[in-house]
Amino acid sequence: MNSLDSPHNLDATTPAEPAPQAAEESSFGDVLRQFEAEHHGAEGRDAVLEGTVVSVGEEAIVVDVGRKMEGILRPDTPGLPTGIVPGTTLMVNISGRTDDGYYTLSTIRVVQPRDFSGLQSAYESKSVIGGMVTEMVKGGLRVQVADGVHAFLPASRSGIREMADMPRLLGQQIECRITKLDVEDPDRPDVVVDRRGVMEEQAQAAKQAALAGLLEGIVVQGKVRSLTDFGAFVEIAPGIDGLLHVTDMSWQRVDKPSSLLSPGQTIEAKILKINRESRKISLGMKQLTPDPWTQTAAELKQGDRVRGKVVRLAEFGAFVEIAPGVDGLIHLSEMSWTKRVRRPSDILNEGEMVEAVVLDIKPGDKKISLGLKQALGNPWDDIETRFTPGTVVERPVTNLAQFGAFVDLGDGIEGMIHVGDITREARIQHPKERLSPGQVVKAVVLEADKEKRRIRLSMKQLEPTSADTFIGEHQVGELLTGRVVEVHTTHAKVELGEGVHARCKTREESSAAAESAAAKADVDDLAALLASRWKGGASAGASSGKEGLRTGQIRRFKITVMDAEHRRIEVESAD
């Protein structure tokens, strides 16, 4: 018998053959378990993985979790830290897959208890644990908080506002805190958890961390959350709003924030001030661009003429925008040379384009004083040449006062007719007896005073007088009868008719005139001097007659001079 056919040899060799098969089965089992761990077994959801951020986008954050496919985090994932950039490491776990095969991830910072003792410890210490939402039940959700142990998560404590959004938590890893742990029935312990409180704590912590990372002067990006009349609230970090006041939106005047911004709009702003106690943050957009005052103050100087738009009227003046974001003030007193302006609206309107002169610049206070009247020119500068005495004007009456009437002479200048200069016909007590506002009158300039800014007019000077009528009806050389009403040393006043008076030389005036003429002659020429005196005496006798003039005398006189322009009449005695 061959030794190979021996039963003993068969028995001896039989056990040795299965050894390679057992090793092969063991190796395959390990591979299978690894495959299932990676691709099955709820995608390895119980495992806490360390991932590295690959890219950050508006829709998703791509994370390398050390597997063949990368994972995706939503930017609004609860508990996600702020300031994530490529290269940031995160503790995550796998919650599912996308249609494209990417892992869907959730952040996790806590470990899920493995047994009941772990739940007991977490309950007593009020620590945060991890759990997996498995199904929806009446009034809330079932959450697996340990192997074989499920807890109840009330809908009101789920952190979800709308019931319609509850299903999106299914299959998600959440963080929660045990609020009730009843072990009367060890097989079915009563466990209640709270997710909302944990989320609020995390949000508050994230807000504190984000606030701590903010500094005055840095530029941040934010989203306009709401608009008010005084500004806009901008979310610059999760749960952190800053106030962008309307005055800090633009260097130009902004009437309403809604004219520049809209809710949901993404903007860049500079942090101007942070009050960490009240957690109030002031933002500014205009601070990201150069201050136009710097350039304007460097270019302007006193006396420059500028052009701008009236943007606002105040009680004391008008603000004019002379450059984007740069306003100058025209004070009431600088609006008119001739009018007393009580309200800016008497002269200017909002939106009107005007030309003005720079009066003063204060760059430190960001104030520019402008003058409107200086750009128009002072109409009083040439008043003495435009309205010389004797100039006749024909203009409307603007106002009446007890003492006289005011007449518009143009360019805002008024002349005044005293009540006594209105008419010769009668004595009046008030200008309204003869004049009314708006009436066009003819008057002559009596005085134009540039320093006092006063022009005196007269109407009665243009009315015909008795002397005007007399001069128009008589001629030089004509003889007529007159009465002596006054006698002086050198002349007499003679009444030729009602209201008509003439001047008549007396003997003494004629002698004095002759002596004055003789004094100019050659004093050595005695014959010439005697002749001059003789002629003067003869002339005096001829003009005065045999006897001198006496008050009340009625005599005949001869007209020697009639000056119509000056209303002057001179006569000599014809007797």
Q: Do 229 and 256 touch, CB atoms closer than 8 A?
A: yes
Domain count, the chain: 7
Sign of CA dihedral 150, 151, 153, 158: negative
pLDDT at 523 > cutoff 50: no
Q: Are residues 567 and 470 in the same domain?
A: yes
Please tell me the predicted confidence (pLDDT) of residue 48.
61
pLDDT band at residue 404 using 50, 70 and 90 as cut-offs: very high
Rounded to the nearest 5°, which phi and psi values hold at 365?
-95, -5
CA 537 to chain centre: 91
What are 477-515's pLDDT values in tens digits? 999 999 999 998 888 999 988 888 999 988 655 555 555
Please tell me the predicted confidence (pLDDT) of residue 151.
93
Q: Are residues 191 and 126 in the same domain?
A: yes
Q: Are residues 150 and 75 in the same domain?
A: no
CATH number assigned to the domain comprising residue 484: 2.40.50.140
CA 141 to chain centre: 56
Q: Are residues 199 and 223 in the same domain?
A: no
pLDDT at 47 > cutoff 60: no
Domain boundary among 462, 478, 503: 462
What are 21-43's pLDDT values in tens digits? 333 333 433 443 444 344 434 44
Q: Contacts from 156-161 at CB under 8 Å and sequence distance 24+?
A: 156/196, 157/193, 157/194, 157/195, 157/196, 157/197, 158/195, 158/196, 159/78, 159/195, 159/196, 159/199
Domain boundary among 107, 131, 148: 107
Q: Are residues 308 and 335 in the same domain?
A: yes
Average pLDDT, the chain: 80
- Kindly state the DSSP code that residue 102 receives in the 8-state scheme: P
Residue 387 lies in a domain: yes
Please tell me the predicted confidence (pLDDT) of residue 23.
38
The mean per-residue pLDDT over the stretch 391-415 comes to 90
pLDDT at 418 > cutoff 90: yes
Please tell me the predicted confidence (pLDDT) of residue 547.
62
Sign of CA dihedral 134, 135, 136, 141: negative
The mean per-residue pLDDT over the stretch 268-296 comes to 89
Residue tagged 């995390």 (tokens): 202
Q: Are residues 392 and 317 in the same domain?
A: no
pLDDT at 549 > cutoff 80: yes
Q: Are residues 284 and 315 in the same domain?
A: no
Residue 209 lies in a domain: no
Lowest mean pLDDT among 150-154, 178-182, 546-550, 568-572: 546-550
Q: Are residues 30 and 57 in the same domain?
A: no
Q: Are residues 163 and 190 in the same domain?
A: yes
State the Cα–Cα distance between residues 434 and 419, nearest whole angstrom.
10
Which among 1-15, 18-32, 37-51, 545-559 has the top mean pLDDT?
A: 545-559
Q: Are residues 446 and 475 in the same domain?
A: no
Please tell me the predicted confidence (pLDDT) of residue 227.
93
| pTM of the predicted structure, to 2 decimals | 0.44
Structural domain span for residue 412: 383-462
Please tell me which residue, 272 or 212, carries the higher pLDDT value.
Answer: 272
Q: Are residues 458 and 487 in the same domain?
A: no
Please tell me the predicted confidence (pLDDT) of residue 507.
66
